[in-house]
Amino acid sequence: MDKREQLITTAFSLFYQEGVHAVGINRILKQSGVAKKTLYHHFPAKDDLIIAVLEFRHEQYCQWLEKRLTAVSPGAEGVDVVFTALDDWINSRDDTLSSFHGCFFINVSAEFGHHEHPAHRRCAKHKNWMLDVMNKQAAATGIRGKKLVEVAESLALLAEGAIVQAYVRGQDDAAKRAGQAARLLLAHYRR
């Protein structure tokens, strides 16, 4: 792992467990063992590091979920896989994404409430990607037009809600219950 990657992975671990604003640059440097000059060579400001960490997590999350989705047919089976994957992550049955501390993108966007801040915009971009995943899965079931938009938005909302309920309320079965609701939703719209 090169120094840039080392800084990103160390910062991610600290940010994810403790929050972006709670972790200072000196802590990242100490934990990573990287010199301050090297940090500023790669990331002139903390915001630059934050964006790089968000990109890192987005790529990690996308690869994780896409790997799970390629194992099944798109459509209802794909929707089931999304919620099964979330359930595995929430319940520490899949350590690809590291120990569950909620959604990194929700957590970071809460720390950067101004919607025009680059970190907030990057978090929104990730959530739009997840909406696209749900849109593709719903479209593969044959749902079209306005109904497709409604279903995709609802599926994304169920996934996000499951993550929040699991983290905030400690509901380890939130993704399972959201998956059941997703199946009912698809059945209703496919009638």
Selected from 1.20.1250.20, 1.10.357.10, 2.60.40.1180, 3.40.50.300, the CATH number assigned to the domain covering 46-189 reads: 1.10.357.10
pLDDT at 95 over 90: no
- Checking if the pLDDT of 190 tops 90, the result is no
- Residue 186 pLDDT > 90: yes
- What is the per-residue pLDDT across 143-155, written as a single tens digit (0 to 9) for each? 999 999 999 999 9
Q: What pLDDT score was predicted for residue 134?
A: 98
Tokens of 169: 């309320």
List the domain boundaries for the chain: 46-189
The phi, psi pair for 91, rounded to 5°, reads -100, 20
* Tokens read off for 91: 């319940």
Confidence of residue 60 (pLDDT cuts 50, 70, 90): very high
pLDDT for the residue 191? 75
Average pLDDT of every residue of the chain: 96
Q: Give the type of residue at 120.
A: H
Tokens of 156: 């994304």
Residue 113 reports pLDDT greater than 90: no
pLDDT digits (tens, 9 = 90+) for 116-159: 999 999 999 999 999 999 999 999 999 999 999 999 999 999 99
User: pLDDT-derived band of residue 173, with 50, 70 and 90 as boundaries?
Assistant: very high
The long-range contacts involving 58-63, CB below 8 angstroms and separated by at least 24 positions, are 58/105, 58/122, 58/125, 58/126, 58/129, 60/96, 60/97, 61/97, 61/126, 62/129
Q: What is the mean pLDDT of residues 60-78?
A: 97
Predicted model pTM: 0.94
